[in-house]
Amino acid sequence: MALRGRFRTGVGSREKSSALQWGVSMYELNKMQVSLYELNKVHVRLYELGPISAMLPFNLSNSSLIHHMCQPLMCRVMLFKRLYAADYCYKKQHQIWKSNSMQEVHRISESEKSMWHQLPRENFPKSLIFHDGRIAFLPAPAATLAMFIWLPFGATLSIFRHINGMFFPYYISFLIGALTGIVYQHSKPAAQTKVHEQVAIQPKPSCGRLYICNHRTLLDPLFISACLNKQVTAVVYSLSRVSEFLSPIKTARLTRNKEEDREKMKKLLEQGDLVICPEGTTCREPYLLRFSPLFAELADEITPVALTAEGTMFYGTTACGFKWLDSFYFLMNPRPKYVVQLLEEISVVLDNGKRHSPCEMANRVQREIGRCLGFKCTTLTRKDKYQMLAGNDGIVQEKHNA
């Protein structure tokens, strides 16, 4: 018996290895014509051994001699069927592994790198509102080397700036601060144009003014105090003992208990001017977090204050690091910049004597500050920030000695 083409009567190790390596298609079995010279010139065509359904469609009903002559051919075909099926499964698994494990790698050329540019903020896939870390620049090799060279000088300069703010009056300390590189700008409304047509409500002589500001760094109340050129009291939710000791203005801790905090802030407001950051935490990006409405229950007149703080080398805030180093890092910048803008007062009391709802007033103050700074107002809270960055609610547990 003989087979045409490359198909031979013997099936040795060479054919087996070739079939396993390249598949049965190498022998073109699906297109090969098999001639059986002893079977009255009956031609058998093998069609697509993959499904293994069409094989040897000739009549074997006449003689045992014909059956004896066809048996070797059938055995060879069955052998190649098994080789083809095993090789097909192997290749299929190999393709699946390759698709899951291998990735195409594209090497960037220098010409393509030269076309790179910084993605504008408005083209970000999602808004960048929260991020942590101290470095405020792109850590390129040259910029990183410059930072390490600056560190000893910056640390010394930061300590000097702290001492200057603690022991000298504002008009002297800010003059010295300007000589060391601090940029400070402030502005006040030209005139109070608000006129109460029916009821003019004025704050009590013994009551201080309430200043509501967005929160950029721990130094916010200090720069507001410098803008007013008088002492104010700042209320905080969490402040380290080091920052409290270094603060040249009075600070008061809140407990996050609404009733206790309301009574405490009312007493502080009766003693003098009060600065509140209703966001409850700092935000570096041009966004405003949700304002807590508690401040709207304290006074009849509210003065919004818009703040911006800029540092070219270090951020003065952190969610996971040591908070007592926040002011040190901010004043380590070669030219830290603070801009304070006092806005026109907003009356909480309507003309008919009723008061705005606290939530409505909080949203209004947030919108006024956002409009002045060009910041976007959000409904995110302090809890959202700390859950994203630190995995907690941002509440500092006080340690009590037994």
Question: Are 310 and 194 in a shared domain?
Answer: yes
Give the pLDDT confidence score for residue 145 in this predicted structure.
95
Question: Are 184 and 304 in a shared domain?
Answer: yes
pTM for the predicted model, two decimal places: 0.67
Question: Are 48 and 137 in a shared domain?
Answer: no
Burial class (CB in 10 A: 0-12, 13-18, 19+), 149: exposed
Question: Are 185 and 244 in a shared domain?
Answer: yes
**Residue 244 domain-assigned?**
yes
**Residue 121 domain-assigned?**
no
What's the structural domain count of the chain? Answer: 2
Question: Are 200 and 63 in a shared domain?
Answer: no
**Residue 395 domain-assigned?**
no
Question: Are 65 and 137 in a shared domain?
Answer: no
Give the pLDDT confidence score for residue 372 in this predicted structure.
94
- Average pLDDT across each block of 10 residues of the chain; the chain has 402 residues. List them in order: 40 43 43 41 39 41 47 54 56 54 68 79 77 88 94 95 90 91 88 42 64 94 91 85 86 87 91 92 92 91 94 91 90 95 91 86 94 93 87 62 36
Give the pLDDT confidence score for residue 104 in this predicted structure.
64
Q: Which of 95, 119, 141 is the last residue of a domain?
A: 95
Question: Are 41 and 160 in a shared domain?
Answer: no
Q: Which domain holds residue 144?
A: 128-389
Question: Are 132 and 232 in a shared domain?
Answer: yes
Contact (CB, 8 A) for 363 and 295: no
